[in-house]
Amino acid sequence: MDQQTDILIIGQGICGTFLGWELSGAGISHILIDEERPETASRAAAGLINPVTGRRIVKTWMIDELLPFAREAYRRIGATLGGSYMGPVSVVDFFPTPQMRLAFLERYAEDPEYLQLPGEEHDRDDFFRYELGYGLIGPCYLVDLPGLLAAARRWMRERGVLREERFGKGELVVEGERVRYRDIVARRVIFCDGIESFGGAFFSRLPFAPNKGEALIVEIGGLPGNGGLIFKKGITLAPWQDGLYWVGSSYEWSFTHGEPTEAFRKRTEAALGEWLRLPFRTVRHIAAIRPATLERRPFVGFHPLYPTVGILNGMGTKGCSLAPYFAHQLVQHLTREEPIRPDADVQRFSKILSRK
């Protein structure tokens, strides 16, 4: 017998998690299909929300709107799931070159919002090797992605909305004003499946720009500030679970596979060894392919030819801040017909998506 539902969600990364939670809050029935894999882009990310970006230390896109929204969204989803999954941190940004020091100081003089200078630049000499001082970035936020995604999965499982299986792309059938997948009949399907949409039937023409990231999970003895500080000098050192640290990440636009590589491990361990004065040990090596986009803007909304087929994807490295905001906006679009932000709405690609 067919199972009827309003929304079929494909994928339980950060986008699928927040979309399912928003739909639940709006009273919209849904089923989520996801094959559990430990090293998807969401599960391999550090979870950092940084208000500035790039070598010019400019504000991250939409950050003044995204930060307060994210704080409240993570507080509310934590209340639902019974945990706390986001906390404030500061980034200790060691300057790797004189040019980067100058760029930070110039930006600080122009606009000190989110930037600070320490009282004593060499107060971390006991733990790190650095010659050019550092600046501070904050408030930043760190999301416990492994904890959040695992708790959300349990919550979905308990409510009977999760099907833990691999999605069969060829088995989805669009039938006028509904979609059918195996024994599921839904009013709409929304793809939150990360890089899988790049090879899917409906959205493969979108300007995805997949890039590969790798990171090491390391054990470090005696490093203070675990949980409240993130350290950066070319590579990023961020608190992880169980007292461990995440070290990475690479941004590779040309790659042959999505697996961890020996070259990255050796290069990163060498860089960490030169920077860190404390002993460390690599306990895990992870890699994933991010669903980045050429415009560095997400894909949100419904297909111009198939209005029952939607997407919430393309968050790139900013998923922790973008996913809560645009999941909410997509649900508001569904329930109240509120517009999706034009520079994120997938309708901006209606011409290319409408080609036969």
Give the range of the structural domain holding residue 315, as residue numbers without chain letter: 3-44+147-206+295-353
Degrees to nearest 5, angle at CA 277 with 275 and 278: 120
Q: What is the largest CA-CA distance in the chain?
A: 69
The pLDDT score that the predictor gives to residue 300 is 98
3 state DSSP class of 188: strand
Residue 49 lies in a domain: no
Nearest Cα neighbor of 217 from 262, 143, 268, 142 is 268
Of 244, 273, 290, the one marking the end of a domain is 290
- Residue 281 sits in the same domain as residue 264: yes
- Residue 214 sits in the same domain as residue 202: no
Residue 65 lies in a domain: no
Contact status, residue 115 vs residue 136, Cβ threshold 8 Å: yes
Q: Which residues pair with 232 in a beta bridge?
A: 93, 236
- Residue 225 sits in the same domain as residue 185: no
- Residue 33 sits in the same domain as residue 99: no
Of 275, 290, 305, the one marking the end of a domain is 290
- Residue 175 sits in the same domain as residue 194: yes
What is the C-alpha separation between 156 and 12, in angstroms, rounded?
A: 10
How far apart are the two ends of the chain, measured CA to CA in Å?
A: 35
- Residue 89 sits in the same domain as residue 175: no
- Residue 120 sits in the same domain as residue 10: no
The backbone torsions φ and ψ at residue 137, rounded to the nearest 5 degrees and listed phi first, read -120, 130
Residue 101 lies in a domain: yes
Residue 334 lies in a domain: yes
Between strands 134-143 and 115-116, the pairing is antiparallel
- Residue 151 sits in the same domain as residue 283: no
What is the C-alpha separation between 146 and 149, in angstroms, rounded?
A: 5
The pLDDT score that the predictor gives to residue 227 is 63
Residue 340 lies in a domain: yes
The pLDDT score that the predictor gives to residue 226 is 58
Contact status, residue 41 vs residue 289, Cβ threshold 8 Å: yes
The pLDDT score that the predictor gives to residue 225 is 61
| CATH, residue 278 | 3.30.9.10
- Residue 252 sits in the same domain as residue 305: no
Scanning the structure block, which residue is given the tokens 């645009």?
A: 326
Q: Which residues pair with 10 in a beta bridge?
A: 33, 191
What is the C-alpha separation between 121 and 12, in angstroms, rounded?
A: 42
**Digitized pLDDT (tens) for each residue of the chain, 356 residues in all:** 889 999 999 999 999 999 999 999 999 999 999 998 877 888 889 999 999 988 788 999 999 999 999 999 999 999 999 999 999 999 999 999 999 999 999 999 999 999 999 999 999 999 999 999 999 999 999 999 999 999 999 999 999 999 999 999 999 999 989 999 999 999 999 999 998 998 888 999 999 999 999 999 999 988 876 569 999 999 999 999 888 999 998 888 889 999 999 999 999 999 999 999 999 999 999 999 999 999 999 999 999 999 999 999 999 889 999 999 999 999 999 999 999 999 999 999 999 999 87
Q: Which residues pair with 211 in a beta bridge?
A: 290
| CATH, residue 16 | 3.50.50.60
3 state DSSP class of 320: helix
Residue 50 lies in a domain: no
- Residue 137 sits in the same domain as residue 217: yes
Helix (H) or strand (E) holding 20: helix 14-25
- Residue 239 sits in the same domain as residue 339: no
Contact status, residue 41 vs residue 195, Cβ threshold 8 Å: yes
Residue 69 lies in a domain: no
- Residue 256 sits in the same domain as residue 301: no
Q: Give the chain's domain count.
A: 2
Of 264, 290, 316, the one marking the end of a domain is 290
CB atoms within 10 A of CB 13: 26
Residue 198 lies in a domain: yes
